A = this chain, B = another copy of it.
Amino acid sequence: MNTHTLERLESEVRTYSRSFPVVFNRAKGAKLYTESGTEYIDFLAGAGTLNYGHNNPRLKKALVDYIMDDGITHGLDFFTKAKREFLETFESIILQPRGLEYKVQFPGPTGTNAVEAALRLARKATGRTNIITFTNGFHGVTMGALATTGNSKFREAAGLPTQGSSFLPYDGYMGEDVDTLDYMEKVLNDASSGIDFPAAVIVETVQGEGGITASSIKWLQRLEKICRAHEILLIVDDIQAGCGRTGKFFSFEHAGIKPDIVTCSKSLSGYGLPFAMVLMRPELDQWKPGQYNGTFRGHNLAFVTAAAAIREYWQDDALANEITRKGMLVEQRFKKLSHLLAEVGIKTSTRGRGLMRGLAFPNGEMADSITSECFENGLVIETSGPEGEVVKCLCPLTITEEELTQGLDIVSRAVEKLIAQHSTEHKMAANA
């Protein structure tokens, strides 16, 4: 595999090609193939972008037919037949059955773009500027979104302090005994708290980059109640946790809450195509024509595959049930590993919801040793969390049970190897 040109010409900013130093060429479902033909099971799935697997054949057909037929590829924000079909499909299959009424904005085709639009909308609608965001949250890296992203790696790289947000502790951040919303309610009721009264709260129901940390249903429900009571808008950033990842189309359905604004991207196109969307309660749609733009807003190829994905997977509960079942399977395997690790004194915990699952190690080095070993054995899997301490499973939702089991077996063997090394080291230390 020739990586010379890539290493020479591509910026040092590249990162996944360091963890997985091979040249991929083809992919299908939950499998990735290098140009020399090596096969990998994919537990990364484009960091949550390939919920329906790589090159899903049903979506592929719709995509290729559309291209072959010279359907509009790029049309700024023209009305197009593909856009109309997406909107109709999304309304009838997703929104209406869930009792949701939203208007839809297509900002630039990236998650960060959707977040920038959502924050602006909240500021316009309320006339306030501050946004409450949470510790370990990730909402993108363009300057507006970055203000709500906790990760110092990105924040430091910005070269400017961000502004317009206040960080408050996410569910569980202050230990099990503290309901972090007590603090939030206190600062909202205190005119001298220094936390400027906010336009909105932006939250992930499960923090993906933050370490697959799921907030409790109760916490989310109380968060919604606080927002309503104070007339603060509730923005759910469903970019990573949405599109079925947690077992329901929207991750917030578990809590029965109705956000004022929702951001979607990643798996929305279903095919890995750049695509993003902002949903907003109709009365919040206070944009003037053209006040927010972007050359690639409303990517028509993505309309086609997104509509196909919804028709294919969300007309009944089949996929949702599958996700829940497979999620439990992953959770059980992770729990088992956690017990094994506990026996040799390595304290871990399992996390997540649906097929967004994590096994949290004491530190990033251990987690890294697992993912490296996995890659050696044919599994692409990565870590997340503040110190990269969480091994995370974000496999395609459509993964076969056989593939899932194979992948989990690889993880198990990596954990066993770690345990063996750990025991040996301890024995040596004890004998020394």
- Residues 188 to 207 of chain A near chain B (Cβ within 8 Å): 190-197, 199
Evaluate contact between A197 and B152: CB separation under 8 angstroms. Answer: yes
Indicate whether A229 reaches chain B with its CB closer than 8 angstroms.
no
A67 to B63, CA, bound (A): 9
A305 to B290, CA, bound (A): 29
Evaluate contact between A80 and B24: CB separation under 8 angstroms. Answer: yes
- Residues 128 to 161 of chain A near chain B (Cβ within 8 Å): 129-130, 133-137, 140-155, 157-161
Evaluate contact between B13 and A194: CB separation under 8 angstroms. Answer: no
Q: Give the 6 A-B residue pairs with the shortest CB-CB distance, closest first.
A: A74-B272, A123-B159, A143-B144, A150-B194, A167-B194, A142-B142
Evaluate contact between A161 and B159: CB separation under 8 angstroms. Answer: no
Evaluate contact between B293 and A386: CB separation under 8 angstroms. Answer: no
A427 to B315, CA, bound (A): 65
Segment at the interface with B among A100-108, A230-238, A345-353: A100-108
**Between-chain CB contacts (< 8 Å), 18 pairs:** A5-B84, A6-B84, A9-B104, A10-B83, A11-B104, A11-B106, A13-B288, A13-B292, A23-B81, A32-B75, A110-B294, A112-B113, A120-B158, A141-B294, A154-B293, A166-B167, A167-B195, A175-B182
| A384 CB → nearest B CB, Å | 10
Evaluate contact between A20 and B78: CB separation under 8 angstroms. Answer: yes
- Residues 48 to 89 of chain A near chain B (Cβ within 8 Å): 48-50, 54-55, 60, 63-64, 67-84, 87-88
Among A3, A70, A105, find the residue whose CB has the most chain B CB atoms closer than 10 A.
Answer: A70
Evaluate contact between B13 and A291: CB separation under 8 angstroms. Answer: yes
User: Looking across the interface, which residue of chain B has its beta carbon closest to that of A17?
Assistant: B79
A22 to B84, CA, bound (A): 12
- For A32, what are the chain B residues with a Cβ–Cβ distance below 8 Å? 72, 75
- For A266, what are the chain B residues with a Cβ–Cβ distance below 8 Å? 295
A266 to B293, CA, bound (A): 14
| A283 CB → nearest B CB, Å | 11
A84 to B112, CA, bound (A): 26
A1-23 CB mask vs B (1 if < 8 Å, else 0) is 01101100111111111101111
Segment at the interface with B among A273-281, A319-327, A330-338, A370-378: A273-281
- For A83, what are the chain B residues with a Cβ–Cβ distance below 8 Å? 6, 10
Evaluate contact between A54 and B78: CB separation under 8 angstroms. Answer: no
User: Looking across the interface, which residue of chain B has its beta carbon closest to that of A386?
Assistant: B192
Evaluate contact between B28 and A160: CB separation under 8 angstroms. Answer: no
A174 to B72, CA, bound (A): 42
A258 to B157, CA, bound (A): 25
Evaluate contact between A186 and B159: CB separation under 8 angstroms. Answer: no
